[in-house]
Structure 1
Amino acid sequence: MSCSLLLSSPIHAFESSRKIRRARHRRSQILCFSSQPNLRGGEDEEQDGADHSKVQGGPEVIVVERYGNGTAKRYMLDKEYGLRTFLEENSSVTNRFQDSHITADARISWLPDSIKDFILPAGFPGSVSDEYLEYMLLQFPTNVTAWICHALVTSSLLKAVGVASFSGTTAAASAAAIRWVSKDGIGAVGRLFIGGRFGNLFDDDPKQWRMYADFIGSAGSIFDLTTQLYPTYFLPLASLGNLAKAVARGLKDPSFRVIQNHFAISGNLGEVAAKEEVWEVAAQLLGLGLGILFLDAPGLFRSYPVLALTWTSMRLLHLWLRYQSLSVLLFNTINMKRARLLVKSHVLHSTVPG
């Protein structure tokens, strides 16, 4: 029986002060050897070496750890000297990682250096994980569509409390303010509940919870849209909408902190978060501007079905873009879901996918 188990954990290299800023997040690969030489790629060679050492009575290979920079560490058990370790280098793997950085540089080579410094962390691409740029490029239109939806939903809320209503009726300013503050207060309960009850879930699968947050937030926006049809029930509908969106935010924020921490492989979490704000604000301004243009369209302003259809289209596009952006993330840690897949594969097929 043979197995190849990929255990991903942050292995930090202790280098000189000149190189520590370039320290990469390395993946640790543990290979379990047996008598069947069916491991992937160059692992067949290691298998043969391990079997040969057993036959000859020489040092036995116990574990081989492979790192992202092409280095491999062999742990060998010698009857005379005990446990020994050997370091090896694989230049082909190192070149592959260098090529990924060259590709990232090529995609933004047309940008002026001043703009690169403004929107990207210092030392990019070496200071962040490999999928950082692709994620941010997908995240930008995702945020644009989110703010377009926000502008469309806000118009429905204002009309429901009597501001620029289709029917021409108006509500007293104090009554409108009370309704607005009340729905915010009720919605805040959602964030309180999520943070206190489910705070231990986000590290395990941040991509899943980030996607759930968008689905729940979309449901909350539907409540907001219906307030325009039933202005009498503004407070319960808007409160339910705000509650759902508050729950979504309670899921979104912790999940995104985990994603940011994944990007910050050089200990530069603060800078990664700051640059993310640059992307977010730029998307917000563009999204709000487009939302205002949509609301200025005569047909959209006067027709609720057109407004609802426009919002639905934007929201579906937003959810698709969110899924695409999350799908590029490659976490190198084993959570419960991945552990189940590894165990299932090992039990059913006697192999563990790498």
Structure 2
Amino acid sequence: MEPNLELLATERYGSGDPWRYLAKDGRMERRKDGREAESRGNTLITVFKSVFLPQGYPESVSGDYLQYQFWDTVQAFSSSLSGTLATQASLKGVGVGNKEATVAAATVTWLLRDGTSMLGRIVFAWLKGNKLDSEAKKWRLVADILNDVAMFMEILAPFYPSCFTWIVCTSGIFKSVVGVAGGATRAALTVHQARRDNMADISAKDGSQETLVNLAGLLVSLILIPLVTDNPALTLILFFLFTALHLFANFKAVRSVVMETLNQARLAILLRQFLRDGRVLTPLEANRKEPVLLEFRKTLPIRLGVRLQEVVQSPEELRLAMRKDAPFLLGIRNGCVGVCLAAHADTRDEIKAMCQAIWLSDRLSATGQKAGFEETLHESYKLMEAKFAQFYKGVEAARWDLTRTMLDWDEWRLEWNPKFR
């Protein structure tokens, strides 16, 4: 520092390099590493970050934010180009450029497609809405696969004019699933990425990023459209290239997400590893092993928070299933492991019940055991009494978020009669 300069204060923006305020000849100067002002290049980078990245980046978002957004940008760009090809095919199918086509026929086709899409959106949200939080990564990838299938159907539709309406309506149903699943899982991922209760800011900046990508896709599409018009072979070739890039980028995007909350898949991975060698995996290790599409491991399905009659059918069965002061009970009916939860159960109890259900499902699936379920159930309680406390401490030490879970519980809760015990 120059001898006639006096340091007044130091400031920084987020994790950026510090700026110093210096006093010189009665004036105050602002410097950074000996420079009095930022270069134009640095200024442009700063403006770009402020426009497209959440305030306080990178401290205000999860550690996987940048990698996820990179692959999400790649998939959005390729999807934009594929969508252009599909839109051109749809317009051609409804009669654009065909003198014999009528406005009424095109309008009816469009209305039927929109109507089936609306119904599909309602039905899918009813059937699978509760799964979109607990299995956000899986449904994010499924949504993008269905989106590609829908666009492929739209490209093929003009070649089958007699079935055109049916094809575009089916495509509309697929796209309605994409709309619900894509939007809902995007919201779930935003909750994960937000580190300063800044969900709105992250969502807004994500919208800005998507708009910029779509604008770039629009400019490229202006070059593509003259090339693919009246050239079905080139249209299909480009579509498959863009689709391959789209699916690859989506797979990399969901694989880059590191969730710290426990869903059934991640908890099962942790428990099996712990029972195998006593080690509790970190969130990064477990997320790398989490299946994001299909799981080929065949186990009995588990249903959580079910009604009592779905677990036991008689007072004697209830006595066998209950344990003193246990906040849950388990049973098996119709090839499913059912778990009933007490009204006073907390998050720790939910995790313990799920661990026991996972172990039961694995054991019964491996042995094909139907008779002797009571002995296996008793063994599962003994295992939890011996191992769960150590397992839970290991999960805490591995810095998993145990304040909440994504275990997809239904809402039934029990209050047992103390005299019955």
> SS where residue 125 of structure 1 aligns?
coil
| Alignment partner, residue 101 of structure 2 | 171
> Are 1:240 and 2:170 counterparts?
yes
Contact 1:149–1:315 (CA<8 Å) still a contact in 2?
Answer: yes
Alpha-carbon distance between aligned partners in 2 of 1:120 and 1:348, rounded to the nearest angstrom:
42
With CA pairs under 8 Å and 6+ residues apart, which has the higher RCO, 1 or 2? 1
Alpha-carbon distance between aligned partners in 2 of 1:110 and 1:236, rounded to the nearest angstrom:
54
**Structure 1: stretches of 5+ with no match in the other structure:** 1-21, 23-107
> Are 1:307 and 2:235 counterparts?
yes
Alpha-carbon distance between aligned partners in 1 of 2:186 and 2:135, rounded to the nearest angstrom:
11
> SS where residue 58 of structure 2 aligns?
coil
Output one character per residue of 1:190-239: Cα deviation in whole Å (capped at 9) or x when no partner.
21112112111122121111001111111112221111101222110100
Counterpart residue identity of residue 128, structure 1: V
TM-aligned CA deviation for residue 189 of structure 1: 1.5
| Alignment partner, residue 57 of structure 2 | 124
> Are 1:224 and 2:154 counterparts?
yes
- Counterparts of 1:1-354 in structure 2, within 5 Å, are 111-164=44-97, 168-297=98-227, 300-354=228-282
> SS where residue 203 of structure 1 aligns?
helix
Alpha-carbon distance between aligned partners in 2 of 1:339 and 1:134, rounded to the nearest angstrom:
24
| Alignment partner, residue 5 of structure 2 | none
What is the total number of aligned residue pairs between the two structures? 244
Alpha-carbon distance between aligned partners in 2 of 1:120 and 1:158, rounded to the nearest angstrom:
36
- Deviating beyond 6 angstroms after TM superposition, the runs of 4 or more aligned structure 1 residues are none
Alpha-carbon distance between aligned partners in 2 of 1:223 and 1:146, rounded to the nearest angstrom:
15
TM-score by length of 2: 0.55
Output one character per residue of 1:100-124: Cα deviation in whole Å (capped at 9) or x when no partner.
xxxxxxxx96853222111111111
Higher mean Cα deviation, 179-188 or 143-152?
Answer: 179-188
* CA RMSD, 1 decimal: 2.0
**Structure 2: stretches of 5+ with no match in the other structure:** 1-13, 15-40, 283-421
Highest CA radius of gyration, 1 or 2? 2
TM-aligned CA deviation for residue 250 of structure 1: 1.6
TM-aligned CA deviation for residue 305 of structure 1: 1.8
Contact 1:119–1:275 (CA<8 Å) still a contact in 2?
Answer: yes
Counterpart residue identity of residue 230, structure 1: Y
Contact 1:190–1:247 (CA<8 Å) still a contact in 2?
Answer: yes
| Alignment partner, residue 89 of structure 1 | none
| Alignment partner, residue 12 of structure 1 | none
Counterpart residue identity of residue 50, structure 2: D
Output one character per residue of 1:290-311: Cα deviation in whole Å (capped at 9) or x when no partner.
12311111xx212212211111
Contact 1:160–1:230 (CA<8 Å) still a contact in 2?
Answer: no
Alpha-carbon distance between aligned partners in 1 of 2:257 and 2:42, rounded to the nearest angstrom:
23
- Residues 170 and 109 of structure 1: CA distance in aligned 2, closer, same or farther (over 3 Å): farther
Alpha-carbon distance between aligned partners in 1 of 2:205 and 2:265, rounded to the nearest angstrom:
31
> SS where residue 334 of structure 1 aligns?
coil
Counterpart residue identity of residue 145, structure 2: F
| Alignment partner, residue 52 of structure 1 | none
Alpha-carbon distance between aligned partners in 1 of 2:274 and 2:77, rounded to the nearest angstrom:
44
Higher mean Cα deviation, 256-265 or 195-204?
Answer: 195-204
Contact 1:345–1:352 (CA<8 Å) still a contact in 2?
Answer: yes
TM-score by length of 1: 0.65
Contact 1:149–1:291 (CA<8 Å) still a contact in 2?
Answer: no
Alpha-carbon distance between aligned partners in 2 of 1:303 and 1:182, rounded to the nearest angstrom:
28
